[in-house]
Structure 1
Amino acid sequence: MTESQHETDLVPKRNSTSIVWTWFGFSPEDKAQTKVICKVCRDAVRTSDGNTTNLFNHVRRQHPNHYADSQTKRRSDTWQPEAAASSKLTQPTVTQSVNKGTPYEKTSKRWREITEAVTYYLVKDMIPIKNVENEGFKRLFKVVDPRYDLPSRKFFSSTAIPRLYSECREKIEREVRTVRFFAAASDMWSSRTSEPYLSLTIHYIHDWKLCSATLQTTYIPEDHTGELIAQGLRDALQCWGLKEENMTCMTIDGGTNMAKALELNNWTCLPCFGYILHLAIEKSVKDPRVTRAVSVCKKVVSAFSFSWKTKQDLSQAQTEMRLPQQKLIRESPSRWRSKLAMIERVSEQEKAISHVLQDEKTKHLMPTWQDTDVMESIKKALCPLRDFTDALSEEEYVSVSYVKAVLHLLKVNLLNLDDEYSELTNKIKTTVLNYLTEKYQDPTTDALLDMASLLDPRFKSQYIDSDKKESVQARAASELESMLDAQAHHQPPSTSWSPEIEEQSLPKKAKKKTLAGFFKTSGAVSSTATMSAPPTLREAIDGELKAYLSTPNANSEMDPLKWWRLNEGNFPRVGQLARKYLCIPATSAPSERVFSTGGNKVTCQRATLKPDKVDKLVFLAKNL
């Protein structure tokens, strides 16, 4: 056996600091490290704990060459064992010692930065404030920065969070004051402690970017009548200095009290597309065959939800049959997509489920071939509709102008009848389409969607009924004329919301005409009338609107707000109308997201939060 093989068989001494241990070690079985063995000759050497004299003597007598190496290394000081290196610390200076033990002043920049970061973490990530008093949280800061003195829970609750709320509110107020038109979304919801709240979010276009803000989460302990909700919404707008006449519309779900509140306030209402689609689908599946198939799926899911043994058997069966390792999905009554997902998962895992439920006691839970056919019919009818709710529920891009396009796509493509489909599939499609068509036949809603589609450069009049195109264009021109007249006669120049209007009020410098300018024509003035009187405001609006509609439609993948940013100079008046309508959300999803945020704030461990605190915490979580 070679010397290197001898060395690898032995374990080095723990926490060794002497160079002599380079040639000695211990047997791997000697956990207590009591018998020292020479790595060179494999002889055992007696030594007391911590004494290396005998070890040096052994090396000097038996291995003189190694002894000479040890003495050379000791004199050169080049050898530094890991334990010795780690224990050999540099002595700090007096200034360093004082600074390390001195806490930050509470007026210092560093203390304020850390405190603000902790406050942001608490409100943005919806962390209970009591966590700052937990031992683990305190230990974290002692390790990260020992000089930081973590404030108490009361400080964050009564000082830090209210200060951050005031700063964030002032920022939102400054921004919304510069906005001329806005849309809103509102709904009622209940916390986990059954306390009712009314949420209000606004949506607007700022610098051709779609923005949103959660303004209030108001506690309403009284009966949720339409009159009370109407007053609460008016008070919320007044509290933020927003004028009712500048609100384009409000998106709500199908609550009768919310609809009555908007009717009492004489506000334009847009029904939530996602909610209407949910009602349409729920109506379409009211069929005994569907009811039975869904009930069978629920029983199957329940059989695997409450027994760890059946879950384990299902996982093993999935492995044997090379099926995806996925759990079954439970249905949520308020989400039609969860019903579809449950049916899809049961169909996908049917072989594994049959293998587990083949016992006589559970065999009756398996879907029959008739149930399987019904589930296939449901999937063929509803799967194409799944993505529309998600796409129309986004807050980052324009969604209201998509409604007309989606309804057209459903009618001519996704929900059209086909002889290849089963009778049940065609029945579901027909019911869904008829319900959607009925709900969007309301004249006010239809007019609102027509205007939004007209102002989207991707669609314009493409999805407007041919017999309505002229009337929609005339209505757009009339609204623009009234809007510009109001700005000219009643609105002070200092409160003008559009940078272009401010530029128009300033004297313009004479600009040399380019060659392309000679070929630029106006839609309102003919070539034979160049020397006549300037066009009236209505003529200018009609010409600009005609020029806008005559341009090629933008690419369907292009952001309409980006298009308007690039082309606003060519159509400044129509651009103002686009700001008014393209900010409308197609669904009430923004309000539902406030529900989720509120639910994460008012948990079982924070059930005693006061309504005022809930309002501030939800406001910060949504707007920071």
Structure 2
Amino acid sequence: MERAKESAVWRYFTLATPTSSSAVCNVCKVNVSRGGGITAKYNTTNLIKHIQKHHAKEHAEFLQLSKTKGAENTAQQLTLQDAFQRREKFPAESLKASAITQKVLEFIVLDAQPMSVVEDEGFRRLLEHLEPRYSLPSRKYFSETALPELYKKVCEHVSKEIKDIQAMSFTTDIWSSAVSPMSLLSLTVHWLDTSCTARGAMLQAKNFHGSHTSDTIAAAITDILDKWHIPLNKVHVILRDNASNMKKAMENMGVRSLGCFAHSLQLVVNEGLLSQRSVSDAIAIGRQIVGHFKHSPLAYSRLQDIQLQMQMQPKRLQQDVKTRWNSTYLMIQSLLEQKRVLCAYIADHDLPSTLTANQWALLEKTSIVLAPFEELTRKVSSSTASTADVIPAVTVLKRILAKEGDADTGIKTMKKTLLQAVNKRFDTVEDEPLYALATLLDPRYKDRYFTSAQSAKRAKDALTGELEEDLRRSTAGASQAGPSQAAEPQEKFPRVEAAAPSSFMQEFEQIVEESEDPGAASSSSPAVQLHGYLAEKTIATSDNPYQYWGVNKYRLPCLAATATKYLCAPCTSVESERVFSTVSNIVDEKRSRLTAERAEMLVFMRKNLPLLIK
């Protein structure tokens, strides 16, 4: 009866009950017998004859529907040979089986899954359901055969990508596992390709034994560079933390290096604000309050009830990490958002400590003062940030902290203290060639953000000298390459209209407006190219500086070549820290016995496999 009910004729008839001996015509409302004496012998013959005799239009529709449905059923029906083939397993070396095995391995690598996932019942049942003809290889096969093969393939791809790059920048850091006796030293590489697109890869997370002295660090990094056949003359700069052993290691290697800008900001905030006794006391109490709710499910449940009573979205308080000042800022923000809720909680329940009215006010002021620092930290920690962002960021910070207004009541001392810390920590930033030349070569900034005329002049002179030296070195090769390509007009980039920009970004635009000097010029001479480039208007801060050079590399060839070198450098060592975030997901408590060599292989492919599969 169920198969009969699938017939298209039932679009035109209705049954009172599933076992009714007759059906009601939906067109003329006549009862039509279903034939047969018992339920098992009911059929649709009489129904079809009825619409054929009395309803010609509906019968024509029925014939068309029946034809379509029959074609679908035919397409879905398997031949006997196909049915038997579907029960046979793929040969292990077949293209289909190899492709599925490859995707399983990519799943393990990209999602940081343990090798044991191929032995999990749920995963095996899933594959069996999706493709019964596929036999899942053993864990040993994935670990000892498939993984090394893919690792070799990814290594070859990365090596090919960086083979002809003339200038590369690097980040490095050291990480120690909390669940196993393992330390790793990371090295990531960054460059601009021929189309001026920012590229990056992870070279290694090297097993790092022994004491972390400058000599051992230098030796480890040198080993990695040698493994990838990268000579020191291709190393533009290495971004590191501010530890003395790291700084000395770079000096021992004879390469240029810079401290992590985000780490320097951390020191500025700690020295300029969080070290103040009144602020640190208020933050310590806030930390105790957050910790109380974090470690007591009952307390959090009560807090959630109060949030619902006040018609607020239930939200957890944010715990900070002392080594990340921006996490302290986020903790303060979460406390201020829940101030009314916390006050209501205190009325009926105990807390390990409470904030006074003065301390609440102090936290509000601290939050206001730290907002630009938090925005700047996010900006420089992005994957697109470069050394060109440092001088403009410091200039903007100084201007914001030096400004006084009616809204500054009660926070003037805080701002003054932070300004002193910024001046102390970044006093010589404009005299660092790696920062100064990168800023000049960024079409969003150029020379508009230098606070010292002398520093700006030194930077321009240094850039002119480097341009002329680069031109001299490339003259022989350029003369053999034939006539140079005709200069192209500058590409016009539409400015992106940002809705309600923050005070931090408004300050960027204000500096540009104050120093803009429109004009244009171009010539094959590096000095004239630089003069014309600096005279042109800057592009919007929201535009892509790499895209600018990709378009204008034929019009300003000398500048574009140098920009490719200086703009490939990040301004923080965040990329290396992101490597270790990946490592911590791989080397966890469930895989604490994972060897350092296997961890290296897994994290290398986790970071670089997307380069290959894309």
Question: Same fold by TM-score, threshold 0.5 exceeded?
Answer: yes
State whether structure 2 residue 370 is matched by structure 1 residue 387: no
- Give how far 1:608 is off: 1.6
Change in CA separation of 1:416 and 1:510 when aligned onto 2, cut-off 3 Å: closer
Q: Output the aligned Cα RMSD.
A: 3.2
- Of residues 279, 282, 289 in structure 1, which corresponds to 2:278? 289
- Hey, what's the Cα distance between the residues in 2 that align with 1:322 and 1:512? 63
> Is the 8 Å Cα contact of residues 292 and 352 (structure 2) preserved in structure 1?
no
> Is the 8 Å Cα contact of residues 384 and 414 (structure 1) preserved in structure 2?
no
- Give how far 1:239 is off: 1.0
- Give how far 1:384 is off: 2.2
Query: 2:557 matched to which residue of 1?
Result: 572
Matches within 5 A, 1:148-159: 148-159=134-145
Tell me whether 437-446 or 425-434 shows the greater mean CA deviation: 437-446
Query: 1:366 matched to which residue of 2?
Result: 354
Deviations 1:574-594 (A, max 9, x none): 111101100110111101000
Change in CA separation of 1:427 and 1:505 when aligned onto 2, cut-off 3 Å: farther
- Hey, what's the Cα distance between the residues in 2 that align with 1:100 and 1:243? 55
- Hey, what's the Cα distance between the residues in 2 that align with 1:391 and 1:93? 61
State whether structure 2 residue 576 is matched by structure 1 residue 586: no
- Give how far 1:39 is off: 7.5
- Hey, what's the Cα distance between the residues in 2 that align with 1:621 and 1:162? 13
- Of residues 391, 401, 425 in structure 1, which corresponds to 2:388? 401
State whether structure 2 residue 182 is matched by structure 1 residue 198: no
- Hey, what's the Cα distance between the residues in 2 that align with 1:144 and 1:547? 63
Change in CA separation of 1:512 and 1:178 when aligned onto 2, cut-off 3 Å: closer
The one-letter code sitting in structure 1 at the alignment partner of 2:259 is P
> Is the 8 Å Cα contact of residues 269 and 445 (structure 1) preserved in structure 2?
no
Query: 1:529 matched to which residue of 2?
Result: none
State whether structure 2 residue 410 is matched by structure 1 residue 410: no
Change in CA separation of 1:269 and 1:417 when aligned onto 2, cut-off 3 Å: farther
- Of residues 76, 80, 83 in structure 1, which corresponds to 2:45? 76
Query: 1:337 matched to which residue of 2?
Result: 326
Change in CA separation of 1:387 and 1:511 when aligned onto 2, cut-off 3 Å: closer
- Hey, what's the Cα distance between the residues in 2 that align with 1:589 and 1:513? 37
Matches within 5 A, 1:15-414: 68-71=33-36, 73-74=42-43, 76=45, 92-192=78-178, 193-206=180-193, 207-283=195-271, 284-359=273-348, 362=350, 365-395=353-383, 397-414=384-401
Tell me whether 540-549 or 603-612 shows the greater mean CA deviation: 540-549
Matches within 5 A, 1:454-473: 454-464=440-450, 465-473=452-460
> Is the 8 Å Cα contact of residues 485 and 554 (structure 2) preserved in structure 1?
no
Partner SS state of residue 471, structure 1: helix
> Is the 8 Å Cα contact of residues 32 and 46 (structure 2) preserved in structure 1?
no
- Hey, what's the Cα distance between the residues in 2 that align with 1:510 and 1:391? 37
- Give how far 1:365 is off: 2.9
Deviations 1:65-121 (A, max 9, x none): 979434395262989xxxxx9x99987433213311111122221111111111111
Query: 2:65 matched to which residue of 1?
Result: none
Deviations 1:24-43 (A, max 9, x none): xxxxxxxxxxxxxx988xxx
Change in CA separation of 1:77 and 1:301 when aligned onto 2, cut-off 3 Å: farther
The one-letter code sitting in structure 2 at the alignment partner of 1:158 is E
> Is the 8 Å Cα contact of residues 262 and 377 (structure 2) preserved in structure 1?
yes
- Hey, what's the Cα distance between the residues in 2 that align with 1:416 and 1:145? 67
- Give how far 1:326 is off: 1.1
> Is the 8 Å Cα contact of residues 398 and 582 (structure 1) preserved in structure 2?
no
State whether structure 2 residue 599 is matched by structure 1 residue 614: yes
Query: 2:539 matched to which residue of 1?
Result: 554
> Is the 8 Å Cα contact of residues 379 and 385 (structure 2) preserved in structure 1?
no
The one-letter code sitting in structure 1 at the alignment partner of 2:112 is M
> Is the 8 Å Cα contact of residues 398 and 560 (structure 1) preserved in structure 2?
no
- Hey, what's the Cα distance between the residues in 1 that align with 2:310 and 2:152? 59
- Give how far 1:209 is off: 0.4
Change in CA separation of 1:564 and 1:373 when aligned onto 2, cut-off 3 Å: same
Which has the greater radius of gyration? 1
Change in CA separation of 1:194 and 1:332 when aligned onto 2, cut-off 3 Å: farther
Partner SS state of residue 197, structure 1: strand
Query: 1:506 matched to which residue of 2?
Result: 481
Tell me whether 227-236 or 474-483 shows the greater mean CA deviation: 474-483
User: Which runs of 5 or more structure 1 residues have no equivalent in the other structure?
Assistant: 1-14, 20-37, 41-51, 57-64, 80-84, 494-500, 515-519, 525-539
Taking structure 1 as the reference length, the TM-score comes to: 0.79
> Is the 8 Å Cα contact of residues 329 and 342 (structure 1) preserved in structure 2?
yes
Change in CA separation of 1:160 and 1:363 when aligned onto 2, cut-off 3 Å: closer
- Give how far 1:369 is off: 0.8
- Give how far 1:570 is off: 1.0
The one-letter code sitting in structure 1 at the alignment partner of 2:482 is P
Change in CA separation of 1:484 and 1:301 when aligned onto 2, cut-off 3 Å: same
Query: 1:536 matched to which residue of 2?
Result: none
State whether structure 2 residue 545 is matched by structure 1 residue 543: no
- Give how far 1:208 is off: 0.6
Taking structure 2 as the reference length, the TM-score comes to: 0.80
- Hey, what's the Cα distance between the residues in 2 that align with 1:101 and 1:77? 42
- Hey, what's the Cα distance between the residues in 2 that align with 1:132 and 1:513? 56
Partner SS state of residue 218, structure 1: strand
- Hey, what's the Cα distance between the residues in 2 that align with 1:415 and 1:195? 46
Query: 1:421 matched to which residue of 2?
Result: 408
Matches within 5 A, 1:518-529: none
